Chains A and B, each alone.
Chain A
Amino acid sequence: GENVEQHPSTLSVQEGDSAVIKCTYSDSASNYFPWYKQELGKGPQLIIDIRSNVGEKKDQRIAVTLNKTAKHFSLHITETQPEDSAVYFCAARLGGQNFVFGPGTRLSVLP
């Protein structure tokens, strides 16, 4: 089955700097890759996603890149702000409703 690894597990950056979180997946048939942000005591919120026929997608300060050959995708956050502090989960969809999640990255943005 699909396996998703995520690095780093924790990340601290200074406010205004960029943050990058990387995920790798094992099954080349996976075709959709969402990213979720989970704040303390809340459910994960979909923040950006990318399909396998696209290499990059951007939405304001966040972007996702996909390298199908290497089977990895990354979340990029620029000009980080304290409110970006949260746990971020990547996921890969193998097909239908079969989603596999990464273990999460705890991002801390230091003022």
Chain B
Amino acid sequence: GAVVSQHPSRVICKSGTSVKIECRSLDFQATTMFWYRQFPKQSLMLMATSNEGSKATYEQGVEKDKFLINHASLTLSTLTVTSAHPEDSSFYICSAYGAGATNEKLFFGSGTQLSVL
């Protein structure tokens, strides 16, 4: 299957700092990328949908000024958690959707465990 690379896999930061997470589609062009948050033993919670070259669409209850999403190219989307606080600690996962060669399938990154001290 297609490869989606997500970095870093784990990050520990101090409260008040910002953290950037990268999501790259390595062998296909992702027209749309999604960002999720997952709490222990729970399902995937969609945070936002980003399309290349346009503003992200955020789900209800997700602060767009806190979770900045940039989808500057067809292979890269970034999520920046601004002024992180302990309650932002979670497992963040991206996914990428591409038409054509990937047969319109959805592929996930490996996830980023964020711990805010």
Is this pair of chains taken from one and the same complex? yes
- By a CB distance below 8 angstroms, the chain B residues around A32 are 104
| A46 on the B face (CB < 8 A) | yes
- By a CB distance below 8 angstroms, the chain B residues around A43 are 4, 6, 93, 95, 108-111
Knowing A43-B6, A46-B1, A89-B43, the reply to whether A99 touches B110 (Cβ < 8 A) is no
**B contact face: mostly helix, strand, loop, or mixed:** strand
CB distance from A75 to the nearest CB of B (A): 16
| B80 on the A face (CB < 8 A) | no
| A60 on the B face (CB < 8 A) | no
In the bound assembly, the distance between CA atoms of A101 and B105 in angstroms comes to 14
CB distance from A60 to the nearest CB of B (A): 15
Let me know if B44 and A44 touch, CB within 8 A.
Answer: yes
In the bound assembly, the distance between CA atoms of A97 and B95 in angstroms comes to 11
Let me know if A97 and B106 touch, CB within 8 A.
Answer: yes
In the bound assembly, the distance between CA atoms of A89 and B113 in angstroms comes to 20
Tell me the count of chain A residues lying within 8 A, CB to CB, of chain B: 20
Task: Give how many A-B residue pairs fall within 8 Å (CB-CB).
Answer: 49
| B67 on the A face (CB < 8 A) | no
- Chain A 59-97: CB-based contact to B (< 8 A → 1; otherwise 0): 000000000000000000000000000000101010001
- Could you list which residues of chain B lie within 8 angstroms of chain A, going by C-beta atoms? 1, 4, 6, 31-32, 41-44, 49, 91, 93, 95, 97, 104-111, 113
For the complex with contacts A44-B95, A91-B106, A97-B104, 6 further pairs of A-B residues with Cβ separation under 8 Å are A41-B113, A43-B93, A44-B93, A97-B32, A97-B49, A101-B43
- By a CB distance below 8 angstroms, the chain B residues around A89 are 43-44
Query: Closest chain A residue to B9 by CB distance?
Result: A41
- By a CB distance below 8 angstroms, the chain A residues around B113 are 41
- By a CB distance below 8 angstroms, the chain A residues around B95 are 43-44
Let me know if B43 and A104 touch, CB within 8 A.
Answer: yes
| Residue in B41, B44, B49, B106 whose beta carbon sits within 8 Å of that of A46 in the complex | B106
